[in-house]
Amino acid sequence: MSDKVTDLTFLGSFTGNDTQKIKRYVQMFLDRAPEQVEEIRTCLGTGDYNQLKGAAHSLKPQLTYMGIKSLEQDIRAIEEHSSSGANLDALPPLVEKLEVTMKQAFAELQDYVNAH
């Protein structure tokens, strides 16, 4: 498997390294983020760029909390392109990268929850 895409350092600092709090935040992310990723994919498919912008905007801070740094620029680009209507051809590869990276992040975070 490739390198980890998540880094819970920020979340640890935010919670005072309280394992139960970290686990609770991670579980909330695991409960909600897959739906948000699906919403982004669906909005791209239907061309609902206003809703796509909103979904990307909603997911953006969560990526920071979970330390998914590799997607920080991509999620901003998704939000910006869907907002401006410019560079819409850049959206499909960005959303595909988001889906692939998030799948790995979900697995890593589920492992964390299971281990704690």
Note the pLDDT tens digit of each residue in 32-79: 999 999 999 999 999 999 999 999 999 999 999 999 999 999 999 999
For the chain, the C-alpha Rg in angstroms (whole number) is: 14
Q: Is the pTM of this model over 0.85?
A: yes
Number of domains in the chain: 1
- Here the tokens at position 88 are 């819409």
Which domain CATH number covers 49?
A: 1.20.120
Distance CA 5, CA 66 (A): 9
In a domain, 1, yes or no: no
Which band of pLDDT confidence, cut at 50, 70 and 90, is reported for residue 2? low
Distance CA 3, CA 11 (A): 19
In a domain, 2, yes or no: no
